[in-house]
Structures are given as C-alpha cells and as structure tokens.
Structure 1
Amino acid sequence: MQVSDIRESERLTSLDSYDILDTPPEEAFDRITRLARHIFDVPMSTISLIDGHRQWFKSRQGFDACETSRDSALCNFTIRETAPLIIPDALADPRFRDHPAVVGDPHVRFYAGAQLRAPGGHAIGTLCAFDAQPRDVSAAEVAMLQDLAGIVLSELELRALVMQDSLTGALSRRALRDEATRGITLAVRHGHSFSVIMFDLDHFKAINDNNGHDIGDRVLAACVKACQNLLRKADAIGRVGGEEFAIVLPHTNRADAQLVAEKVREAIAGVTVMGADGPLRVSASLGIATLERTASDIDELLRRADAAMYEAKQTGRNRCIAWRTPEVAADLMRRVFKAGHITFNAGHSTIDCTVRGLSEMGASIDVFSTTDIPERFKLSIPVDHLSRACHVLGKREKHLDVVFD
C-alpha cells in the first residue's frame, strides 16, 4: 500500500468525524466567506471540503454551484500543500493555466486558498477567495486568510457540540444520529423493533426561488412543528439536509412506521404559510426503513429510507414508500468512508468515487454523476487493496449500489 493511500484514508476519516458534508448552510460559516471576500476585494469565496470524489461547499459567496468534481477543483491542489496556495494570475502559471476552473467556469485568474487543517494535521478542505481578474496579495492578507481558516475549524468543532438546528428546532444531524444509535443499541439488546422515516419537501427550491429564503425558512419550521405535534415523546426528528429530515421511531415495526409516515405526510400537506402571492401549500415524499439483520445501524437504515424516499419522488411525490429488499439480497453492510475508483472501457476510463458502505457482497458508492457510468465496471479501494468487478444493483441521482461479481 502506498503511503499516499494511507494518508488519504486518514484524511477522509478526519473529515468524516465532523459529519459536515451535505448539511444546510449556516450563518456562522457564511459570515466567514463574506469577510474573506471583503478582505481580498474579490467577488467569490468558498469554504470547500474535499471527499473522495468532489469538493462540496459548506459556504459560498458569488458562486452558484454547491459542489464540483474533485479533479476540477483548485482546492484539491491546496490540501496537498503545507502553506496557503496563492496564484496571482493562473494564466501566467504553467501549473494551472490549462486547469478546467481557469479555462472554463468560473474562469479563475486570482486564487488564494488556506488549508482547513484538523487537529491531527490533515487538510480536510480550504477557505479560499478567487476572482476572474489577476491581482497581487500581501503577506498581511495571507495571514488574515489563515486566521479565518482557523476560525472555520473552530466553528466545525463547536458545531459538533450543537444539539439542535437553530432554524427549525429539530435535532441536529449529529444529535439525531446519536439518539438513533442509542435507540438501536437498546432495540438489539432487548429484541425491540425500530424504524426510521426520511422525508424531503417536494419542489422546495421553487418555494425559495418564488418567495425568497425567509418564506422558505418559515415553511421548514412550520413543517417540523406539524411533525412534532403528532410524534410521541420517545420519537425524535432531526434535520439531515437542506429540506430533508429524518424521524427515528423506537418500538415501531414496519407496519406501524408506515402508519406514522402517512400521518406525517398528511400533517405536512395541511401546513399553510403565507407566501409572496398568497397561501403556500406544501407536500413531502417519505421513505421508511426498519431494523433487521442486514440493516442494524443508523447509517444503513438512513440509506435505505433515503432510497425509498427517492423512489417516492420518482413515482409522483407526496407519498410514502417502504424499503423493499432487492432481488439480490445484501449481506450486512458496514459504514465506511473511503476513496475509491471506478474503472471501465478496458481500463481507459476512471472516475473517482467515495465508498460509503461495504460488505462481502457489494458496496454503496457516491459519485459526482452517474450519467456516464456503465452497468458493469471494476471498483478499487486502494487503502484496502480491493479491486472487484461489479454490476449496478440500484442507481439514483449521485449514488450507486453495486453487487460484486
């Protein structure tokens, strides 16, 4: 095994410990990118986190995309450096003048990036400022960027201690996971049932686009309140994404969880919030998963509930669907967070991926796009010395479930 593979595996483990990827925007981080943009007098600034296959933005100013592929990220170079990466003019720098972010959108000329270095020394991402015009930078400005990067890390550490989502009053994602893990431990020990519901508000982007984010925030809070009013004291609801929520249901089997999900769907459908042009009505798509031998931890339950929720969206929205075991049954899949590579076309085509679940029979994989990935390919995980031919069992948006041949 190469030293670089070990270091990358350790870096991903450090990133995973913050449980930050794909969480909603937070003002504490947006404040930092606004300040970085002001200090450097540039139109764009981001807080970028780099996983196995992409850079994902916890905060972004002047930049529309919420994520990009890792190989098109200047920040992917920054995390390999020991000092901030400063590029006064990318077109004049032979290292970067042909880079996709330079020759294409957002046409970067000036770039300044400071590493987000976790306590163990691993760079999990960057705080960067960039512009479509070249410019010089002073040592004082670089020092301020490093200080701001340190503040980002402090915010990440503080966020790990936060138990409640400030906007909706739901549990934070980390708090929900902790609550669910405790519930699952008790369920396994005493032979109780345990279920999870995931739901996503339908067409929420259109609500934000047509009415503004303030109204969208009111919709989220109202929907959570409607759910809390019908749940038991032992149940818990948490915010796991922008408009995505999960409910944990101790002592609840599949049939009863489906009844609860239908009540949640009806409660959300009954929410009314005044919008820009009058009352807004909302709906949700829900997925249900239940504790069993092949799904005995919160990550696998959430993955299954998410897959069922995606099916609910694909089949018309505003409905509840329970996870159904595929024809090729999976064995016990453990949660992992590893860098991997998908190879096909006789080895001529390679795509980076992040492996999120792994078993003897298959894997659960995140990719930047499933568009060009064939039904059969080879999956390799360098840190595990694993290289297996496999075929796609399920595909949704940016995720693949595969079975090894």
Structure 2
Amino acid sequence: MQNEEQARLAALDRYDILDTPQEEAFDRITRLVRRIFDVPMSTISLVDAHRQWFKARSGVEACETARGPALCNIALREPRCLVVPDTAADPRFSANLFVLGPPLIRFYAGAPLRTPQGVAIGTLCALDTQPRDFRPDEVETLLDLSHVVMRELELRRVATTDGLTGALSRQAFREACAGALALALRHGQPLACLMLDLDHFKAVNDGHGHPVGDRVLAEVAAACRSRLRGSDAFGRLGGEEFAILLPQTGAAAALAVAETLRAAIANLRVPIPDGTLRLTASLGVAALDAGTTEADSPEVDGLLASADAALYAAKAAGRNRCAGAPRLSSGAGARRVLKAGLLSFDDGRAGLDCTVRSLSEAGAALNVVDARDVPETFRLSIRDDRFSRRCRIALRRDGHLDVAFV
C-alpha cells in the first residue's frame, strides 16, 4: 500500500501543479459544475501526502484542508465516482468535520482525476449543503468534466510556451534552468534567477474581468521581454507569477535588471473602458556566484526556492520593490521530492502529517497544513524510505518549513 501511495505522489509531482496560482482554465470548470448541477460549491482537489489542495474552487473559502477528514481522500480510491446523497445518513461521513462544520457538506459527488496511466491524483467535486439525488447521466457528465480537467493538466505538462503571454511554460522554464545551471557550474560562471509577481492582481480580475486581466499579463510579458537579452529565459510559472533566468549575471547586476523590470511595469498604462490601469510588481533575486562548485550548488528547485523566498520578503516589506536572497549555499545538494512524512514531538506522543518537498544531506523542505504550532525541534520520519532524523526549524512560513538536521 505504501508503494502504491508513493507511486501516486510521484505521478502527481510530474504535473508540477501544487501551490500554483489560480488559473481561469480550471476556475471555469468549477463554475460549470455549479451551473450544470445547480450546486453551491465545486472544487478541483489535488491530494498530496498531508492535505487536499484546491487548484480551483467555487463557493468554497478554504484553499486547502487536511487530508484525513477530506471526502476526496475516499473518492481517490473509487473506480468511477463517489456519490453520497446524504452525508448525515452515511456512517462513513456522519461524524466528519466537514459535514458537522464548515462547509457543511450534506451532498458529495467526486470524480477521480486519473492520469493516462490510471493513477488518481485528485478529484473534481460537486458539493451541496442539502441532501440530493444524483442521476446516472449526471455521474457521466461529472466524469466527462473530470477528463477535461486532466486534459488541461496534460496540455500544461507538455506545453513549452504559454499561449497568452508567449513566455516559456512552467515545465519548459524549469528545463531551461537545469541546462543553464549545469553550464554555469561547468564553466565557473555566475547565474541569477528572478521571480516576479504582479501586486494585487486578483483585484484586476475581480474589478475589471478576466479579458482585462489577460491583456495586463500579455502587456507585462511584452514589457519584460523587451528589456531582456536574447540569452535570458522568461517563463510564466502560473497566474501572475513569472520567472527570469539570467546567465552570466551576478547578484548586483541581477538586482539592477530586477529594478529595470519593476520600473517598466510601474510605468505601464493599460487602457480599459473607463480609463487606464496602473500596475506594480514585486521581484525576488537569487544569484549563484562565479566559481561555485557542484558540491556547493543548489539544484533547480533550490535556486527557484531562494528567488521565491526573496520575492516573499519583497512583498512583506510593502510590495513594488526588489529583494535579494542570501548567498546560495544552504540548499546545496537538495533534490526535489514529493513524499509522505510524519513529524513527531512531545516524546512521540504527538504527530503531524507532512509532505516532504526537497531533501539534502543537511535538511529538508516540508509542507504542513498549519506551521504555527509546530515546535522548534522534532523528528521527521519518511515511512517509505525508512528515514528518521531529528530536525530544527530554520524557516517557518505559512504552511512551509525549512528544517536543518541535527
């Protein structure tokens, strides 16, 4: 059973979709589910080791929940579709947290999201606060829509260019990073990565509609590309988040490029029916020093994570600014993984499920539902690998922990 779960997590990891911003292509499907079935809630739920995370949600406030009580955790194992006409009358769910409390689910229909190899990585759900029937033809319609979700995920996985902005796709950008990082290490050259996020972009979509939001993204992408070299790689990681790879560029020069892009976006004027729209962006910069060896270098995920941490710092400092990451050394040897883990503390009397996102000889990056109550030291176990190490928290942010092994 553990091997099956690890294979499922590996399949999910190949789509590189977890924790990406909302996207209209997926939001549209949840809106369709609500209209077609006349239900107040719908989600596209992806299930990792410790939680269900919603790539899209309509009528649901939370962006993720713990995996344990999630009805989608049961639907994953269904050959076709899990339909529960009245959760209060079903002994499997009558005492469920999400039935007794928000979002007060009384009706549930969940179709597994299956890869072409038949592995379930999540569900497409229709939810109601009142009991109701679900006819066989409605089951077939929900299954058809689940195939639409998977087709969209497959297209994202294999695409090299983002159709809206012309930027590299998320996967293509990661591949460009891997090649450039290997080349920089081989020749002892500097390398930098910028992470760019438009400030308050949700307000643009909410206030002016998605067509205006799409025009904003296209114009921002054009403004950035016009100020980059032909050797630079420009990618869209999802939603309003972009990344730029700068070969043969050190930290100081990379910060100057980031400031140029920030100013260009601040000077943009996007025409809208009732005037013009002004924008700002925050940027994070991570740089690899010239002469860095493979032993001291992060892998691609370490490079992106450092730039992302700097971006987070720029936003926390007030947005519309650039911030640099510390020298890239703490992520040395880190490899990307997606594994089920367990945090143990209070002499083993308490435990918390987690998802391990990267591992190195020195530490790990972990995701948990709520990082606030995790003690400073604990034991991390990875059941599939028979791995167990004492840890100390190095960075705590929302549902993320960077830990050092002690």
Q: Which moved more, 1:19-28 or 1:225-234?
A: 19-28
Give runs of aligned pairs for residues 318-397 of structure 1, distance below 5 A.
Answer: 318-325=320-327, 329-397=330-398
Structure 2 contact 43–56 (Cα < 8 Å) conserved: yes
**Identity rate, percent:** 55
Structure 2 contact 156–169 (Cα < 8 Å) conserved: no
Q: Which one of the candidate residues 240, 249, 256 is aligned to 1:259? A: 256
**Which one-letter code corresponds to 2:365 in the other structure?**
S
Secondary structure of the corresponding residue to residue 56 of structure 2: strand
Counterpart CA distance in 1 for 2:101 and 2:140 is 29
Counterpart CA distance in 1 for 2:224 and 2:244 is 9
1:123 deviates by 1.0
Counterpart CA distance in 1 for 2:184 and 2:327 is 21
Structure 2 contact 196–282 (Cα < 8 Å) conserved: yes
1:16 deviates by 0.7
Counterpart CA distance in 2 for 1:28 and 1:284 is 23
Q: Deviations over 1:333-369 (max 9, x none)?
A: 1111111122223333322221111011110112222
Change (3 A) 1:172 1:6: same
Q: Deviations over 1:123-182 (max 9, x none)?
A: 100112111111122223223322332332233222222222233332221121122222
Structure 2 contact 108–125 (Cα < 8 Å) conserved: yes
Q: Which moved more, 1:216-225 or 1:355-364?
A: 216-225
Counterpart CA distance in 2 for 1:232 and 1:371 is 42
Counterpart CA distance in 1 for 2:178 and 2:101 is 45
Are 2:231 and 1:229 equivalent residues in the alignment?
no
Q: Which moved more, 1:334-343 or 1:279-288?
A: 279-288
**Which one-letter code corresponds to 2:239 in the other structure?**
G
Change (3 A) 1:276 1:5: farther
Change (3 A) 1:182 1:329: closer
**Which one-letter code corresponds to 1:182 in the other structure?**
G
Structure 2 contact 199–319 (Cα < 8 Å) conserved: yes
* Gap runs ≥5 in structure 2: none
Change (3 A) 1:285 1:76: same
Are 2:242 and 1:241 equivalent residues in the alignment?
no
Secondary structure of the corresponding residue to residue 101 of structure 1: helix
**Which one-letter code corresponds to 1:37 in the other structure?**
R
Change (3 A) 1:26 1:310: closer
Counterpart CA distance in 1 for 2:39 and 2:330 is 52
1:116 deviates by 1.2
Match of 1:176 in 2: 173
**Which one-letter code corresponds to 1:242 in the other structure?**
G
**Which one-letter code corresponds to 1:180 in the other structure?**
C
Give runs of aligned pairs for residues 186-335 of structure 1, distance below 5 A.
Answer: 186-274=183-271, 278-291=275-288, 292=292, 293=294, 294-325=296-327, 329-335=330-336
**Which one-letter code corresponds to 1:99 in the other structure?**
N
Secondary structure of the corresponding residue to residue 68 of structure 2: helix
Q: Deviations over 1:210-246 (max 9, x none)?
A: 4444444333332222211100111122121322211
Counterpart CA distance in 2 for 1:50 and 1:254 is 37
Q: TM-score scaled by structure 1?
A: 0.91
Are 2:37 and 1:40 equivalent residues in the alignment?
yes
Q: Which one of the candidate residues 89, 93, 116 is aligned to 1:96? A: 93
Counterpart CA distance in 2 for 1:190 and 1:17 is 30
Secondary structure of the corresponding residue to residue 155 of structure 1: helix
Change (3 A) 1:158 1:218: closer
Counterpart CA distance in 1 for 2:353 and 2:45 is 17
Q: Which moved more, 1:23-32 or 1:333-342?
A: 23-32
1:78 deviates by 1.0
Counterpart CA distance in 1 for 2:192 and 2:207 is 35
Match of 2:81 in 1: 84
Over aligned residue pairs, what C-alpha RMSD do you find? 2.3
Change (3 A) 1:275 1:341: farther
Are 2:155 and 1:155 equivalent residues in the alignment?
no
Change (3 A) 1:146 1:212: closer
**Which one-letter code corresponds to 2:318 in the other structure?**
G
Q: Deviations over 1:307-331 (max 9, x none)?
A: 11112222333222222149x9454
1:287 deviates by 1.3
Give aligned pairs, total. 401
Secondary structure of the corresponding residue to residue 238 of structure 1: strand
Q: Which one of the candidate residues 111, 126, 129 is aligned to 2:126? A: 129
Q: Which moved more, 1:99-108 or 1:205-214?
A: 205-214
